[in-house]
Structure 1
Amino acid sequence: MSTIIQFENVGLRYGPGAETLSDISFSLVTGGFYFLTGTSGAGKTSLLKLLYLAQRPSRGVLRLFGEDVVMLHRSRLPGFRRRIGVVFQDFRLVPHLSTYDNIALPLRVAGLGEDRIAEPVREMMEWVGLGDRADARPATLSGGEQQRVAIARAVIGRPDILVADEPTGNVDPDMAQRLIGLFEALNRLGTTIVIATHDLPLISTIAHAQMMRLDKGRLIDPTGSLRYPPGHAPAPVEEGRA
């Protein structure tokens, strides 16, 4: 399988202080399913920002789709970003758009006509349990409902990479399993999945997934590619917002 994401000695620093991420090196393959764990402040959200191109590394090499994005011309970034679906921890829904229009947004940005948008959006709303909330604005939705809209929007365009920050943190266990099933279905279609989470019992339900763990801005094994086989994950840790 080909490499879709590659970090080589990547560091990230915000301002003049110490690095938030240091000497990060790993490779992820096309169609892989990965969980990223670590205590609060370990750097998980910062690592995800590098993956969806909200930040560029302060040093090192970051390759996506075989290209060095550190050196990528700014004009090419939008095209790369359209290949990456993102589920943000704070949802980031467009407040004046309905549930339907928030979910349809990536398809419209990609240039699809309305005749090709309606059916997949309606099907997606049913899948995430929001079939009766098509016209609702984000302010009228519960936190769990907003989370489901954010997930539906991220996966509707079948991205090459899906990056998700605590995607099941605001839903009940049954819905969490249903959403993970949606990620698995997308993964079977070839999408590479990277999920930041502290829910180790949830991780254990995905037998083929691999896990990486951050500690104080570093991957905790020297090779930078620590992965635990199913059933051998470390004990749960207290988790907050990274």
Structure 2
Amino acid sequence: MQSVAEFDNVGLRYGTGAETLTDVSFRLFPGSFYFLTGASGAGKTSLLKLLYLSHRPSRGAIRMFGEDLVNMPRARLPGFRRRIGVVFQDFRLVPHLTAFDNIALPLRIAGISERDLEGPVNEMLAWIGLTERADARPATLSGGEQQRVAIARAVIGRPEILVADEPTGNVDPDMALRLLKLFAALNRLGTTVIVATHDIHLLQEIEGAQMMRLDKGRLSDPTGSLKHPPRPLVLRN
């Protein structure tokens, strides 16, 4: 099975300091679901930045969707980014847009008509429990509500890869599980999902998900599970 992303001895250094990531190698397969864990400062956010093409590595090779990203012209990167959904830790909602319009943004960028996007956006608002807040702007939403809008925006376009940085950090346990079910449903449609989290309880919710653990910038993979296609994904009741 061809991987959707492959890292080969990747290192990342900010400025002249020590490496944040060192000799990171793994493959992500279509339809796989990964939890990325590790202590604070282990390099989780830095690894995600490489995955959603915010940064290029200091050394090593990265291939995504079968193409070399390290040497790819910058002009081609935006097209690749549209294939990746991202949930940022700090939400990054557009402040002057309503919840509805923030969620609809990826569809509008993709050229979807207003008539065709209204149904999917309203369905997503209902799923995250914010139908009555569709016209609210980010400044009037709570942190948890902003997080839900950010997640809905990331998944509505059914990206090929979904990258989520602590997506359940600002919601209660019931909503965390509901959002995890949303990720799992997207995963069953074929999206490769990678979720960075400190909440080890989430790992117990999805049978078949695999774990990537970073320790001081190095990837710990004692089972070799990141080199082979995943098992079928099942959400525990």
What TM-score bracket applies, with the shorter chain setting the length? over 0.9
Provide the C-alpha distance between the structure 2 equivalents of 1:144 and 1:49, rounded to a whole number of angstroms. Answer: 23
Pairs within 5 Å for 1:132-147: 132-147=132-147
Residue identity matched to 1:176: A
* Kept after mapping to 1: 8 A contact 2:6/2:63: yes
Provide the C-alpha distance between the structure 2 equivalents of 1:20 and 1:160, rounded to a whole number of angstroms. Answer: 27
Alpha-carbon shift at residue 2 of structure 1 (Å): 2.2
Provide the C-alpha distance between the structure 1 equivalents of 2:196 and 2:72, rounded to a whole number of angstroms. Answer: 26
The answer as to 2:72 corresponding to 1:83 is no
Provide the C-alpha distance between the structure 2 equivalents of 1:57 and 1:23, rounded to a whole number of angstroms. Answer: 11
Q: What TM-score do you get using the length of structure 1 for normalisation?
A: 0.91
Provide the C-alpha distance between the structure 2 equivalents of 1:2 and 1:168, rounded to a whole number of angstroms. Answer: 30
Residue identity matched to 1:4: V
Provide the C-alpha distance between the structure 1 equivalents of 2:175 and 2:225, rounded to a whole number of angstroms. Answer: 30
* Kept after mapping to 2: 8 A contact 1:162/1:191: yes
Alpha-carbon shift at residue 220 of structure 1 (Å): 2.4
Pairs within 5 Å for 1:60-209: 60-209=60-209
The answer as to 2:8 corresponding to 1:8 is yes
**Matched residue, 1:23:** 23
Provide the C-alpha distance between the structure 2 equivalents of 1:224 and 1:95, rounded to a whole number of angstroms. Answer: 43
Provide the C-alpha distance between the structure 2 equivalents of 1:103 and 1:45, rounded to a whole number of angstroms. Answer: 23
SS at match of 1:132: helix
Number of residue pairs aligned between Structure 1 and Structure 2: 229
Unaligned runs of 5+ in 1: 231-242
* Kept after mapping to 2: 8 A contact 1:213/1:226: no
**Matched residue, 2:33:** 33
Alpha-carbon shift at residue 225 of structure 1 (Å): 5.8
Provide the C-alpha distance between the structure 1 equivalents of 2:206 and 2:222, rounded to a whole number of angstroms. Answer: 25
Q: What TM-score do you get using the length of structure 2 for normalisation?
A: 0.93
* Kept after mapping to 1: 8 A contact 2:27/2:226: no
Residue identity matched to 1:156: I
* Kept after mapping to 2: 8 A contact 1:36/1:212: yes
* Kept after mapping to 2: 8 A contact 1:165/1:195: yes
Provide the C-alpha distance between the structure 2 equivalents of 1:226 and 1:69, rounded to a whole number of angstroms. Answer: 20
Unaligned runs of 5+ in 2: 232-237
**Matched residue, 1:235:** none
Provide the C-alpha distance between the structure 1 equivalents of 2:75 and 2:225, rounded to a whole number of angstroms. Answer: 32
SS at match of 1:163: strand
Pairs within 5 Å for 1:227-242: none
Segments of 4+ in structure 1 off by > 2 A?
A: 220-227
SS at match of 1:117: helix
* Kept after mapping to 2: 8 A contact 1:163/1:194: yes
Can you list the C-alpha shifts for 1:175-204, whole angstroms capped at 9, x where unaligned? Answer: 111000000000000000000001111111
* Kept after mapping to 1: 8 A contact 2:210/2:225: no
What RMSD in Å do the two structures reach over aligned CA positions?
Answer: 1.7
Q: State the percentage of identical aligned residues.
A: 74
